[in-house]
Structure 1
Amino acid sequence: MSSPTPPGPGPAPTSVPTTPPPASTPGSEDLPEDLPLPAATGTPVQATGTVTQGVEHGCLLLEDGGTTYLLLGFPDQLPVGAEVTVEGTLAEDVMTTCQQGTPLLVRTVTAR
């Protein structure tokens, strides 16, 4: 009969950066207040096309010039089928569950 093995040390604790977000990100006055914003450090983009539904629920896409953008923000102004021009910033450090498209943090939406 063997005796139970005493538990070993658990996983090392992880630290989470505690740097507070900036009070305002340039262009954030155009975004809904409840949208968490990554820093606006990516490449600025302007894209025009028709909003389409992605393969995952709630994922909105727009194709322009051979690039498919995953549209982040403005869900009320970006219904599927809307023809729009969006301006925003590539969100290069954002992970999503949408499985397609280059994440684009939308700053403005203009209907075509």
Structure 2
Amino acid sequence: MSLLISACAVRPAQPTEADVLRATEMYPDITLDQLNQGLDYYKQYCTPCHKLKDPNSETVADWQKIVPAMAKKAGRAEDIADIPEDVQLSITRYLTTMTIRTVSAQ
């Protein structure tokens, strides 16, 4: 049973320096610390509502729309605090960078 459960859970990838280099095309000022912060925020703010999604499940353009939409939706829930815009940006940068990682590898 635990094998089935762990197979369904997404384990977000830890950003690397290679991800930073790739991400600078979209985000010239990005740092590894910022990507790691985005990962932390992704886990902190998104898991109260749903399981984490694989960044590759959406395109860069989709993530840029989804994160603000989800933040707005979360802000309407009684037991969930608003997600600040800087946190949304950090999550978006992490997700889009990790999406770029897979696209670049193909």
TM-score range, shorter chain: under 0.3
Q: Please give the TM-score of this superposition, normalised by the length of structure 1.
A: 0.22
Q: Please give the TM-score of this superposition, normalised by the length of structure 2.
A: 0.23
Q: Which has the larger radius of gyration?
A: 1
Select the structure that is richer in helix: 2
Bigger relative contact order, structure 1 or 2, given CA contacts below 8 A and separation 6+? 2
